[in-house]
Amino acid sequence: MPENIAIAGATEVEAHHAHPPYQRHHFETIGQQNDATNFAMWLFLLTEIMFFGGLFTAYMIYRNWYYPAFVEGSHQLSIFWGTLNTAVLITSSFTMAMGVWCAEMRKKSALVLCLVLTFVLGLVFLGIKSIEYHEKWEKHHVPGIRYSLDSFLNPASDHEVYQEYHDKPLPLDMARHTELYFFLYFAMTGMHALHMIIGIGILAFMIIKAQRGAYTTGHVTFVENFGLYWHFVDIIWIFLFPLLYLISRHAN
């Protein structure tokens, strides 16, 4: 039907179909709009994977080269806090998923509750992370000028860790490479925490909007897409936790 090709000329027709207020003017249907934003979110997560991919590559290479340093470095991390944090994060993913469901079901107060829970759990995660960071700071395990090799050259001086693992002292050249381990630890968890902070910021914004009923009108794409982001951040942690805390912990 070639005549259907619109030739816009002097006589133009203002074609405005009736559509819900949340449908942007350039989409034909709300389905198309949801599809498009959803797809965009997945693509964005793909770029995030590539972004973290650079760090994972560096981790893989240096772990391979400086294995003993990475093992003893990982002994400095607290399994307790790490596991707790993993649990917190997975729970927050659950509350987020519940939130999406509530939005779909148009349950406003339940949605707000879920979002608030997710928000709080996110903060708890960051709080625990900062306890861990603080510990590293006190032990001079933050790469840069204050970095100290004591725990690795003389593990016995580090009572708590020593009691558990009985690490052998690392030779100086290997001990130096623990700095790379801690850099990667901070870079990867820091990058992850940054994503959490951004996520928490958006959550705060969403809580306010949800209270006003913005997501319980049947249009839930925003909540859904944010859910994707939140789960993605969760998944990154699911990779970070074993790589940094668990693997080869008992190797020597």
Partner 1 sequence: MSDTIVVLPDQATARLPKKSYLNKENGLLSWLLTGDHKRIAILYLISITFFFFIGGALASLIRLELLTPQSDLMATDTYNKVFSMHGIIMIFFFLVPSVPATIGNFFIPMMIGAKDLALPKINLLSWYLYMAAGTLAIYSMVVGGVDTGWTFTTPLSTHYVNTHVITTGLAVFIAGFSSIFTGLNFIVTIHKMRAPGMTWFRLPLFVWSNYAASILMVLGTPVLAIALVLIVLERTIGIGVFDPTKGGDPLLFQHLFWFYSHPAVYIMILPGMGVISEVISTFSRKRVFGYTAVAFSSVAIAVFGFFVWAHHMFIMGISNYAVLVFSLLTMLVAVPSAIKIFNWAFTLYKGSVTFETPMLYAFGFMGLFTIGGLTGVFLGTAGTDIHLTETYFIVAHFHFVMVGGMLMAFLSGIHFWWPKMTGRMYPEKISQLAAVVTFIGFNFTFFPQFILGTLGMPRRYASYPPEFQVLNVFSTAGASILGVGYLLPVLYLTWSLKYGAIAGNNPWQATGLEWQTQSPPLTENFTEIPIVDHEAYDYEWLEHQKEKEVASA
Partner 2 sequence: MSHISPVLWQFLVKWMTDFSLFPPEASKIAPQMDALYFFMVLVSLIGLTLVILLVVGFSLLYSKRRHPVAVQIEGSTLLEATWTIIPLGLFLVMFVWGALIYFRVYTPPNNAMNIYVVGKQWMWKAEHPGGQHEINALHIPINKPVQLTLISEDVFHSFSIPAFRVKREAIPGRYTTVWFEATQTGTYHLFCTQYCGTDHSHMIGEVYAMTPDNYKKWLDSSTSGSSLAQNGERLFASLSCSACHNSRPDARGPNLVGVFGSKLTLTDGETITVDDAYLRQAILNPSQHVTQGYAPIMPTYQGQISEEGVIDLVQYIKSLDTDYRLKQTTTTTTLLPESQGKAAPAAKGMVKQ
Per CB under 8 A, residues contacting partner 1 are 1-10, 12-13, 15, 24-28, 32, 35-37, 39-40, 43-44, 46-48, 50-55, 57-58, 61-62, 65-66, 143-145, 176-177, 179-180, 183-184, 187
Out of partner 2, partner 1, none, what residue 172 binds, judged by CB under 5 to 8 A for its kind, is: partner 2
Nearest CB to partner 2, comparing residues 160 and 173: 173
Nearest to 75, CA basis, from 4, 181, 173 = 181
The correct pick among 97, 110, 174, 191 for binding partner 2 (CB under 8 A) is 174
The correct pick among 127, 171, 218, 242 for binding partner 2 (CB under 8 A) is 171
The correct pick among 172, 197, 198, 247 for binding partner 2 (CB under 8 A) is 172
Q: Roughly what angle, to the nearest 10 degrees, separates helices 30-65 and 221-240?
A: 10
**Closest distance between partner 2 and the C-beta of residue 152, in Å?**
11
* Residues 38-77: x where in contact with partner 2 by CB under 8 A, - otherwise, as a string: ---------------------------xx-x---------
Does residue 153 bind partner 2 (CB under 8 A)?
no
Nearest CB to partner 2, comparing residues 3 and 173: 173
Residue-by-residue DSSP string for 143-203:
SSTT---HHHHSGGGSHHHHHHH-PPPPPHHHHHTHHHHHHHHHHHHHHHHHHHHHHHHHH
Out of partner 2, partner 1, none, what residue 32 binds, judged by CB under 5 to 8 A for its kind, is: partner 1
**Closest distance between partner 1 and the C-beta of residue 183, in Å?**
4
Please measure the distance between the N-terminal and C-terminal CA atoms of the chain and give it in whole angstroms. 75
**Closest distance between partner 1 and the C-beta of residue 13, in Å?**
5
Q: How many helices (H) and strands (E) does the chain have?
A: 9, 0
Does residue 170 bind partner 2 (CB under 8 A)?
yes
In angstroms, rounded to a whole number, what is the distance separating the alpha carbons of residues 168 and 240? 26
143 Rama sector, left if φ>0, alpha if ψ -120 to 50, beta otherwise = beta
3-state SS, residue 16: coil
In angstroms, rounded to a whole number, what is the distance separating the alpha carbons of residues 222 and 187? 29
Out of partner 1, partner 2, none, what residue 250 binds, judged by CB under 5 to 8 A for its kind, is: none
Tell me if 160 sits within 8 A of 135, measured CB to CB: no
Nearest CB to partner 2, comparing residues 217 and 248: 248
Amino acid in position 35: D
Tell me if 152 sits within 8 A of 178, measured CB to CB: yes
* Range in contact with partner 2 (rule: CB under 8 A) among 33-41, 46-54, 167-175, 224-232: 167-175
List of residues contacting partner 2 (CB under 8 A): 65-66, 68, 170-174, 176
